[in-house]
Structures are given as C-alpha cells and as structure tokens.
C-alpha cells in the first residue's frame, strides 16, 4: 500500500508537439514512479521518441506540463534536463565518434581544474571506474569511439547515466545493437538501477525485453496514447493489437499507478 502515497517522479500532462502541420504528440499523459520501468511502445513514427526527446530537452514542448517530483518544471534544453537528473541513452548513442570514450562520457559536463582547464586526469581516473563497473573487459579508454564495438559504444553511452547519478533514465532501444551477453548486462543494470530508486522510460520494439524488464507499458499510435497497463495484466497479442490497431484490450484495467 505504500506505493499509494509514493511521490510521482515524472508527470507528463496534456503534452502536445507538432512539426509543421503534423501532430507528432497529441494530449499525452504519462507518469513514472521511482524504481519503476515504464515501457513506451508504438510503431516508428508513433511519437514515442518525440515524447521522450521533449522530456530530455532535445525538442521544445508546444504545450502541456512537466512535473518532476510534483514540481512544475520547464525543460528547454538538454542541459536543463541534466540538471533535473534526467539522462537519456539515445538509439544513436549520441557519441562524438572522433573523441575517445573518456571524452564522450564527460561530453558537455567536463570536469575542470581550479584554472578552468580540462582536468583530463581526474576524468580519466573516474571514467575507468565507471567503465569497469559496467564491463570488466573494457580497456579502450583512449581510442576514438568509432573504433569500438557496438557493445562497448553502448557502455560509453550508459556510463553517462551512471556517472551523473540519473534519477530519471530514458533508454531508447538500449539493446538493439547488442549481442546476448551485452543484452544481459543491460538487463542486470536496469534491475540494479531500479533497486536504487531510478525511474526508467524504456523505448523498445523487442517484446521479450518489454515483458522481461518493464513494470508498466504505455502504447502510442499516431501521436496519441492508446493506453497504459500493468505489464503483467496484458498478453503479447493484446500489446501488438494496441500497437498495430490502436485497440484497447477488453476488460483490462488501465493504470497510472506503479505495478507493485
């Protein structure tokens, strides 16, 4: 019952976004509680990535409210989002391919010395710890990330969220480019972060991931929210029905509460 009184981590209310005449996101309501994974599903172009990018500050919101821990906030830039504890792992990973993994981990938030110059050594030392925690075999600290494997690149992208203590994590197809071992690493990491009280939005096309990792799922179609359900309440076929036809499963309760 304690979940009833638990404070909502993120509350998105009546969010709208249009690109030219196209409504990419229309009146979407979605929330996220601490220690919870909410999967956001939908076709390509359903608006899920746009919605998440608005929360991450990459796109401005046309109208609607964002509340973080009950407080109304304005997320206008990625830096705003970072200050609010929102970290994103993009499908494209958002890595500068010509820079090494240490520089990428700290990109945009470099550690500085007292003379305002880059503190490479401290960044180097800190980065080693984070990378080691994610992958014991990670050794390529000073090669440009374009030469790293898909899994290693993912480690670099994820390390940002870990190092900067994300409270709200947006993961866009985190396992799309990964092998089985690395997928297992991401799953383990998600469990670990949940236990620490981090709230996670998980965008995924992989039904197995969704059912294995998420507590709730929200389905979008044509920019609108079809519905939000407890993952354990619905079947894969019902989810596919929502994604493809926009059809709500009959007799299943929608919920805006965490699953536990």
Partner 1 sequence: MNQVLNNLKHSAIDWRMALMALVLVVISVIFNVLSDGIFFSPENLYNIAQQTAVVGILATVMVLIIVARHIDLSVGSVMGFVGVLIAFLMYTMNWSWPAASLAGLGAAILVAMYQGALTAFIGVPSFVVTLGGLMSFRGAAYLVAQGKTQPLSDPFFLTLGGGYNGGIGTQASWIVGAVICAGILFNRLTQRRAKIRFDVPVNPFWLDTILALIPCVLVVAFVAIMNAYQIPNKPDAQGIPIPVLIWGAVAGLMGFIVRRTRFGRYIFAMGGNPDAAALVGIPVKKVTMMLFLLLAVLVTVAAIVAISRLNAGTNSLGNSLELLVIAATVIGGTALAGGSGTIVGSVLGALIMQCIDSGMLLLDVSIGTRYVVIGQVLIAAVVFDVAYRKWTGDTQ
Task: Give the nearer residue to partner 1 in terms of CB position, either 22 or 121.
Answer: 121
Q: Which of 18, 96, 184, 245 binds partner 1 (CB under 8 A)?
A: 96
Size of the site for partner 1 (CB under 8 A): 36
- Residues near 1 by beta carbon (within 8 Å), at least 6 away in sequence: none
Is residue 98 within the footprint of partner 1 (CB under 8 A)?
yes
Q: Which residues pair with 141 in a beta bridge?
A: none
Is residue 132 within the footprint of partner 1 (CB under 8 A)?
no
Candidates 15-23, 40-48, 50-58, 67-75: pick the segment binding partner 1 (CB under 8 A): 50-58
Is residue 43 within the footprint of partner 1 (CB under 8 A)?
no
Is residue 146 within the footprint of partner 1 (CB under 8 A)?
yes
What's the longest Cα–Cα distance across the chain? 63
Ramachandran angles phi, psi of 136, nearest 5°: -60, -30
Q: How far apart are CA 95 and CA 160, in angstroms?
A: 11
* CA torsion, ordered 66, 195, 104, 120, to nearest 10 deg: 120
- Residues near 254 by beta carbon (within 8 Å), at least 6 away in sequence: 227, 228, 229, 248
> Exposed/middle/buried for 253, CB within 10 Å: 0-12, 13-18, 19+?
exposed
Q: Which of 31, 88, 228, 231 binds partner 1 (CB under 8 A)?
A: 88
Q: Is 232 helix (H, G, I), strand (E, B) or coil?
A: helix
259 touches 80 (CB < 8 A): no
Q: Which of 147, 205, 256, 260 binds partner 1 (CB under 8 A)?
A: 147
Q: Which of 4, 7, 92, 114 binds partner 1 (CB under 8 A)?
A: 92
Print the binding letters for residues 100-129 with partner 1: x by CB under 8 A, - otherwise: ---x---xxxx-x---xxx--xx-xx----
Within residues 182-241, the interface with partner 1 by CB under 8 A covers none
Q: Which residues are near partner 1 by CB under 8 A? A: 56-58, 77-79, 81-82, 88, 90, 92-99, 103, 107-110, 112, 116-118, 121-122, 124-125, 142, 144, 146-147, 160
């Amino acid at each position: 019952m304690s979940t009833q009184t638990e404070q909502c981590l993120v509350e998105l209310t009546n969010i709208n976004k249009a690109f030219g005449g196209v409504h990419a996101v229309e009146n979407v309501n979605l929330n996220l509680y601490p220690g919870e994974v909410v999967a956001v599903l939908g076709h390509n172009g359903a608006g899920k990535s746009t919605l998440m990018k608005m929360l991450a500050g990459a796109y401005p919101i046309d109208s609607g409210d964002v509340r973080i821990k009950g407080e109304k906030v304005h997320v206008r830039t990625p830096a705003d989002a970072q200050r609010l504890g929102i970290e994103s792992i993009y499908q494209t990973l958002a890595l500068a391919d010509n820079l090494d993994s240490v520089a990428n981990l700290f990109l945009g938030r470099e550690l500085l010395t007292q003379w305002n110059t880059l503190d490479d050594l401290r960044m180097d030392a800190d980065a080693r710890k984070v990378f080691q925690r994610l992958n014991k075999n990670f050794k390529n600290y000073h090669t440009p990330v374009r030469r790293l494997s898909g899994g290693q690149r993912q480690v670099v992208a994820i390390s940002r969220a870990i190092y900067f203590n994300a409270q709200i994590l947006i993961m866009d197809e985190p396992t799309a480019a990964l092998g089985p071992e690395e997928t297992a690493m991401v799953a383990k990491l998600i469990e670990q972060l949940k236990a620490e009280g981090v709230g996670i939005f998980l965008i995924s096309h992989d039904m197995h991931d969704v059912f294995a990792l998420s507590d709730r799922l929200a389905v979008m179609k044509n920019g609108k929210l079809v519905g939000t359900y407890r993952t354990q309440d619905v079947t894969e076929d019902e989810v596919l029905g929502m994604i493809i036809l926009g059809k709500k499963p009959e007799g299943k309760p929608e919920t805006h509460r965490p699953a536990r």
